[in-house]
Each structure stands twice: as structure tokens, then as C-alpha cells.
Chain A
């Protein structure tokens, strides 16, 4: 009788065993993807559904500092309405007076300008000039990063 030297061990797949490694792989990939795009940034102006920040490829972290919001309707400092946008769009003033007065009082060294994407440069320039005249040293323009979900 011929003896089998190499015996084949029967492969027994338990129910569900074959599906586990791909599942773990998929979950691990998902975990890394979510961790990479993880963000705890709160919505900008949640009470204003029409507000839309420009989209950018930048990835720099947004520091917590004074917030200057520029919308087509108004200019805000830390959520408080300072001036009407249309008023300053029509005027030739280079400085937004109400914002200047408040910045002089608060004297922040840096500020984040969160401008709606539709805001014309003419208004944004006045806001930026105002911060410069008020001795704000560091200015950042805030945008929505493409790296987000």
C-alpha cells in the first residue's frame, strides 16, 4: 500500500472567519482617513446660512485670535456688528471707522479675517487697511481647507 507522505490537512473555514481580515483592513483605512481629515473647527457664523468662506488648498492651523467677519451685509468684530458693508462699499473712505474705534480699544496684536467669498476686494481692502492703521500686526485670511471632509 502506498503511503502518502504529504497529507493534505483539511482546511476548515469557520463561519465568518474569511470576512474578518478585510473588514479590519477596511476599518483601519477608514480610521486613518478620518484621523487625517479630523477637525474640531466650529462652523463660521452658524446663524448666517448664506455665509460662505472661500475654499483654499492651504493647511495652516487657524489660531484663536480676534475674528473680523466680512459679509456682503455687514462687518463684525468677534461676532458683534460694527458697520454696514453697503455703506462702506459706496463711500470712498479707506477706513471702517467703527471697526477702527473698537480695534483701538481692544488692541489685538493679531486677527483673523473671515470674509465671504462674494465680498468684493474693495470692501476687504478697507477692512484690512483699518486693521493695519489700528496696529494689528498679524493678519490671516481664513478659508475652508480642501483637506476637510
Chain B
């Protein structure tokens, strides 16, 4: 007897049409993206100026009250001010620790700098401000390299706020513009 309601034969669905359409879509999308994308991506490094006291919020007082990285042509000097734990000490009594970090093969010793900053972060997790003091022969490349190292280390974020330079003349007392502006040579309009 022939079964009228015979179960349908199970046939494996053919995935090819679906996969082909996805592959085609991707093959259209990828060249479009490659054509519109730029080869490099720009990034912004926010910073504040070291001297502009009135333009930045006060730092939260903690055990680490100040950190400076002085960049010289032959290396860096890390200076950290730590509040003394002496019960008789005043709140403003701090001890400055200074560490020389000479260049390694002409390159700033970033791992050593980050290791010391991580130690400071362990002492005072609230610490977040560092002042970078480059000296004149230092190039912008090295300044950016050190700024990157200060922002994030292998173990996580380090300094959130970077101050650059020792500061400029105060805003009010800055040299006023000359009545007759100077023009640098070769700047003919």
C-alpha cells in the first residue's frame, strides 16, 4: 500500500546561494572601504601648559604631591614629591626623590620610567598629574614618546593629566604685542 502522507525526504539545504551572496556583498564592501579609508589615523594628545596655574583644577591631595620628568639629551630625571608620614610633619612637608634614567642606546629608557611610575601609582592610586620638562635639544618625537609612556604603562593607565614645560610668562604680564609687528625674514606676503 502506498503511503499517501509520506514523510518528505530530508534533503540537506544547499548553502551555496546564501554564502555566495554574503561573499559578493563582502567583495563589494571591502574595496569600497579600502578606497575611502585613509592609510593613517590621526590621534590627539591633550596636554596643559605647566605655568598656567589658573587654568587647571587643583590636584587632589595624596601621598604623591608632585611628579616631574625632566628630559635632557642624554636621559631623563624623574623627581617625585612624597608627603612624609611622620605624625609631627606639616601637611606641606614633602620629600623629593630623584631618579636618573639615562638613555639606552640613544633612546629614552621608557620601561624603567614606567616601572617607577607604576610604583608611585601603587603608593598613591589617586595621583594623576605629571609635569614634563623637556630641555631645548629634545625633539617633538621624544616628547610624544615620553607623553605616551606617561599616559599608559604595561599594567594600565598612569598619569591622566600631562603638563608640558615649566610655564610661560603669566597671562597678564606676558609681553604685549609690539606696535609695529616684527616680521621674520623670508616672510614676504
Chains A and B come from one and the same complex: yes
Give the B-binding residues of A (Cβ under 8 A): 14, 16-17, 20-21, 23-24, 27-28, 30-31, 34-35, 37-44, 53-63, 70, 81-84, 87-88, 94-95, 97-98, 100-101, 104, 112, 115-122, 124-125, 128-129, 132-133, 135, 137-145, 147-149
Give the complex CA separation of A34 and B30 in angstroms: 8
Report whether over half of chain B's contact residues are helix, strand or loop; otherwise say mixed.
Answer: mixed
**Which residues on the A side are within 8 Å of B45 (C-beta)?**
56, 58, 60, 140-143
**Are A141 and B38 closer than 8 Å at their CB atoms?**
no
| A and B contact pairs by CB, cutoff 8 A, 17 listed | A17-B16, A20-B20, A28-B26, A34-B33, A40-B36, A42-B38, A43-B38, A56-B43, A97-B182, A98-B181, A98-B183, A124-B140, A129-B165, A129-B168, A132-B52, A137-B55, A140-B46
A133 is contacted by which of B34, B140, B174, B183 (Cβ under 8 Å)?
A: B174
B141 is contacted by which of A16, A27, A117, A140 (Cβ under 8 Å)?
A: A117
Question: Contact size class for B?
Answer: 35 or more
Give the complex CA separation of A148 and B178 in angstroms: 44
B90 on interface, CB distance cutoff 8 Å: no
B37 is contacted by which of A82, A125, A140, A149 (Cβ under 8 Å)?
A: A149
B144 is contacted by which of A31, A40, A143 (Cβ under 8 Å)?
A: A143
> With A83-B184, A128-B164 in contact, is A140–B33 under 8 Å at CB?
no
Binds A, one of B57-65, B74-82, B117-125, B130-138: B130-138
**Are B19 and A115 closer than 8 Å at their CB atoms?**
no
> B4 to nearest A CB, angstroms?
25
B169 on interface, CB distance cutoff 8 Å: yes
**Which residues on the A side are within 8 Å of B134 (C-beta)?**
121, 125
**Which residues on the A side are within 8 Å of B104 (C-beta)?**
none
Top 3 A-B pairs, shortest CB-CB distance: A148-B41, A87-B184, A145-B43
A60 is contacted by which of B43, B52, B182, B184 (Cβ under 8 Å)?
A: B43
Return the CB mask of B140-161 against A: 1 if under 8 Å, else 0: 1101110110011000000000
